[in-house]
Structure 1
Amino acid sequence: MVLQQAPARPHSETPDRGVLNRGRPQQAGPSRLRALDGLRLLAALSVAVYHYLAYEGAAPAWGQAPSSLFPQWSGAAAYGWLGVEVFFVISGFVICMSCWGRSLGDFFRSRVTRLYPAYWAAVVLTTVVVTVTPAIGQDIPFTDVLVNLTMLQDAVGADRVDGVYWTLWVELRFYLLFALLVWGGLTFRRVLAFSLIWTVVAALARTADSELLTLVAMPKYAPYFLVGIGIYLVHRFGDHLLSWLVIGVNAILSYHYAVLRMDHQAEDVVHQPLSRLIVGLVLFGGIALVAAIARGHLGWVRWRWVSYAGALTYPFYLLHDYIGFALINWLYDRVGVSAYAVLPVTVTAMLVLAWLVHRLAEKPLARWLKVRLTSGAMTLDPRDLLSRRRPVPAATPDAATPGAQAAGPGRSRDEVTIARK
C-alpha cells in the first residue's frame, strides 16, 4: 500500500473532451484534498492496532495471545485489517489523479521516488531489529534480504523481511497494469474502458484456472483499485452512469472478497468470530468517505498538519510491524510497563521513527533519485520506441550530384527527442 499526498481537484472537463496533452501536468487548484491524507493515516493506525491487539502473530511479543490481554479491545481491533482494503481504494483514486496528463516517464519516476527510499530504510532497520531480537519475526537469509531491496521478493519466492510487505507486491502489479494505460495517454473513455475490461477479466480469472491471468488480473484486489478509479472519474468529470457502474459493481465485489478474507481472519489469524455486517459497514464506510472527499464534502479539512501526518503513513506502515513487536516485548516483558500503557507508547514511538525515516532517509533519497532519473535520456514514450525513423544513408561520391555535399546520416526520433529535452 503506497500512496501519494493528494493534489487538489482539477478543473472539470467533459467526458467526451477530457483529453489532456500527453506530458503536460494538470493545473493544481488552490487547496489539497487534505482529508484524504487524514483517512490514509487513520487506515494505517487501524492496521497497527489490529496487529498489536488482535493478531495472533503478536503473541511472542506479549508472551501470550493479545486477545487474552485485551478482551475488551481485541474484538474491535480484529477488524483493523480492513484498513488495507481502504488503502487500495485510495490508491486507485490517487494514482489515477497523479498520473493524469503525464507521460510514462513521469509515472515511472514518481513511483520509484515514492516507493523505494522509505522502503530501503525500513528493510535495513527491520533486518537489524529482527537479527537482534530473533524471537520477533523470522531470521531470513542475507540473500533474501538483498532480494527484498528490489521489492520483488514475492515474485521470486524469497522470504519477506517483514510480513506487511505483501501489500507492496499487490501495489506493484497495479502500477504495472496501469502503466500500460498511462503509456497510451489517459482520457475519460480509455480509463473507463480499462476499468470495465479489468472488472470482467478479474471476475473471470477466478474460474479460468490460469496462474498467469490470476497474477495479472488480481481478482481478490482489483475491485478495490477499480472503486478508487471510478471515484476519480466522478471527481474529475462529474456524475456519469458508467462511472457509477464501475463503482457500484466493484464495491459489491469488494465486499465479496472482504468477506472471504474475513473467514480466513476469523479461523486462522485472530481466532474469534467476525461479523459480516461490521465488515460491510467498515468497508462501505471507507468507500463512502473517499467518495465524499472526492466530491468536496470534506473540503473544510484544511489543517496543514493533516497532510504532514499523511506523509508519514507509508514509512509508519513499513516500520510498525516487527519493530513495533520488538518494542512491545521490551516494554512489557523486560521493563514491566502496563499492557494498556504499552500500546500508546508503541504507536507514538513508531510515528516518531516514521518521522525520522521521512526526514533523514525518504526525502533526501527521493531528491537524489529524482535528479538522476530526470537527467536520464530515457523518455519512455511509445512513439519513440515504436516509430523510429530510419537513418538516411550517406550519399556516396559516385551517386552525389556534382558540386553537392554528401548527406550525413539522418537523426532518429530518439535523438530528436533527447536533444529537445
Structure 2
Amino acid sequence: MNDSRNHAIETLRAAAVVMVFMNHLHSMDILTIPYFGISGGWLGVQIFFVISGYLIIQSAARYSAPEYIKHRALRIYPAYLFWFIAFSVITGSLAIEKLDINSLLTHLLFLQHFSPSAFAKYSALPVSWTLTVEAAWYVLAFIIASYFYRSPTKSLFFSVAIACFWINAVIHLKIFPSIQDPGQRYFFLQNNAIAQMPFFLIGAWIAVKKPPQHDKAALLSVIISTIFLFKSWELSAVTPIFITGLGVAALFLILRDIDYKNHWSIKWMSEISYSFYLIHYPTIILLSVYIGNKYILSIISFVATVILSFLSYFIIEKPFIRLARSVGDKK
C-alpha cells in the first residue's frame, strides 16, 4: 500500500472513532456536538466498513484459508476477549449465578448481533454488534475474493440489490415476526450484516478497480449530497443505505489523491482506534457514575479511553499484530 493510501486510512480511522465517540455522548444525553452528535455514529461505522472492505479483500486474495483465519483472529480477537471479560466482570454480568453458557459462546464467536437475547445478556461492550458484521464480511470476502477480482462491479451491484431487498423485506413483509419491538427490528434485522455488506464491497471495489484520480470538485459534491445533506433526503430512503457509502468512498478517494502526511496525533489515534472503539462506551458509562458535569465527563472520558487504548494497543494488540504479520510472511 502506498503512502498516500496509508495516510488516507489513518485519517479516516482517526476521524471515524472520534465521530462514534461524539455520537455516544449524544445518545447518552451527555453532550451534543452539532452534526456529529447525531450523525457521527452511522458515519463513523460506515467509514470503518469501507476501510475494512478495502483492506480485507486484498488479504483474502493473498492468504490461504488457514493463514487468513489466523491473520484475522489474531488481529481482532485478543483485545476483544480481554475487554469483554474485563468489563463483564466489572459490571457483574459474569457472576456465576448469572452465567449463561449459550449466550456467552454467542459473544465469543462474534454472533451476538444475530441473537437479541444473547446480546442483551452480555452487553458490556455495546459496540460489539459491528464485530458480528465484520466477521460476516471476513467470511464472505474469502469466499468471493477470486470472483470479485474478476467482476468487482457486478459483485457490488449484486450486494446492493440483496441489501435493498432485505431491508424492504424487513420493513414491508414483516419477516421474523418473533421480533416485534420497532427498535429491536431496526437494530437486529434492518441494520444487520446483509444490509451493511455494500459498504464493505464499496471499499473492496476501490481496492480492486484502483480508480484513477477524479475531479475533486465532483467528489466533493458527492460527499455533500450523500453525507452532509443526508437528513434532507433520509425520510425518502430506508437505512442503512448504500448511497452514504458512496460519500465515504468519495472522501477516501480525495484523501488518497492528496500528497500529505498526518500529524503524529492522528497517526496514533488511528493505531489505537480498535481498542478505543471497543472500550469508549463502557468507559463513559462507568465515569458518569462519579462525574456530574457533562463537559468534564466528556473530556475525562476521552482522555481515559485514550490512555486505556494505548495500554491495550501496546500490551495486547501489538504483540498479536506482529504474530499475525509473521504468519503472513511465511507464505
TM-score using structure 2 length: 0.72
- Structure 1 letter corresponding to 2:49: F
TM superposition shift of 1:239: 7.3
- CA shift in 2, pair 1:202/1:252, >3 Å: farther
SS in 2 for 1:330: coil
Per-residue CA deviation, residues 316-362 of structure 1 (Å, 9 max, x unaligned), is 00001122210122232xxxxx3212211110110110111111122
More helix by share: 2
- Structure 1 letter corresponding to 2:290: W
Q: Structure 1 vs Structure 2: percent identity of aligned residues?
A: 24
Per-residue CA deviation, residues 199-247 of structure 1 (Å, 9 max, x unaligned), is 3333333456677xx89x945212322322233344x25379xxxxxxx
Counterpart of 1:93 in structure 2 is: 54
Counterpart of 1:290 in structure 2 is: 252
SS in 2 for 1:126: helix
Counterpart of 1:150 in structure 2 is: 109
- CA shift in 2, pair 1:323/1:128, >3 Å: farther
- Structure 2 letter corresponding to 1:109: K
Report 1:194-209 matches (<5 A).
194-206=155-167
Counterpart of 2:203 in structure 1 is: 228
TM superposition shift of 1:98: 4.0
- Structure 1 letter corresponding to 2:261: V
Match of 1:238 among 212, 221, 225: 212
Note if 1:311 corresponds to 2:284.
Answer: no
Counterpart of 1:348 in structure 2 is: 303
- Structure 1 letter corresponding to 2:295: Y
**Larger-Rg structure:** 1
- Structure 2 letter corresponding to 1:323: T
- CA shift in 2, pair 1:301/1:35, >3 Å: farther
Hey, what's the Cα distance between the residues in 2 that align with 1:99 and 1:233? Answer: 12
C-alpha contact (below 8 Å) 2:148/2:155 kept by paired residues: no
SS in 2 for 1:301: coil
Counterpart of 2:261 in structure 1 is: 301
Q: CA RMSD in A?
A: 4.1
Q: Size of the alignment, in residue pairs?
A: 293
C-alpha contact (below 8 Å) 1:109/1:374 kept by paired residues: no
Counterpart of 1:127 in structure 2 is: 88
- CA shift in 2, pair 1:173/1:252, >3 Å: farther
- Structure 1 letter corresponding to 2:253: A
Counterpart of 1:110 in structure 2 is: 71
- CA shift in 2, pair 1:305/1:202, >3 Å: same
- CA shift in 2, pair 1:330/1:153, >3 Å: same
Hey, what's the Cα distance between the residues in 2 that align with 1:292 and 1:39? Answer: 11
TM superposition shift of 1:366: 4.4
Per-residue CA deviation, residues 245-271 of structure 1 (Å, 9 max, x unaligned), is xxx9xx979x69x93699999xxxxxx
Report 1:34-183 matches (<5 A).
34-52=7-25, 54-55=26-27, 58=28, 65-66=29-30, 70=31, 73=33, 76-81=36-41, 82-131=43-92, 141-143=99-101, 144-155=103-114, 157-159=117-119, 160-161=122-123, 162-182=125-145
Hey, what's the Cα distance between the residues in 2 that align with 1:304 and 1:75? Answer: 26
Hey, what's the Cα distance between the residues in 2 that align with 1:32 and 1:85? Answer: 18
SS in 2 for 1:220: helix
TM superposition shift of 1:114: 1.3
SS in 1 for 2:152: helix
TM superposition shift of 1:166: 1.0
C-alpha contact (below 8 Å) 2:78/2:316 kept by paired residues: yes
SS in 2 for 1:173: helix
Note if 1:33 corresponds to 2:6.
Answer: yes
TM superposition shift of 1:44: 0.9
Hey, what's the Cα distance between the residues in 1 that align with 2:152 and 2:298? Answer: 43
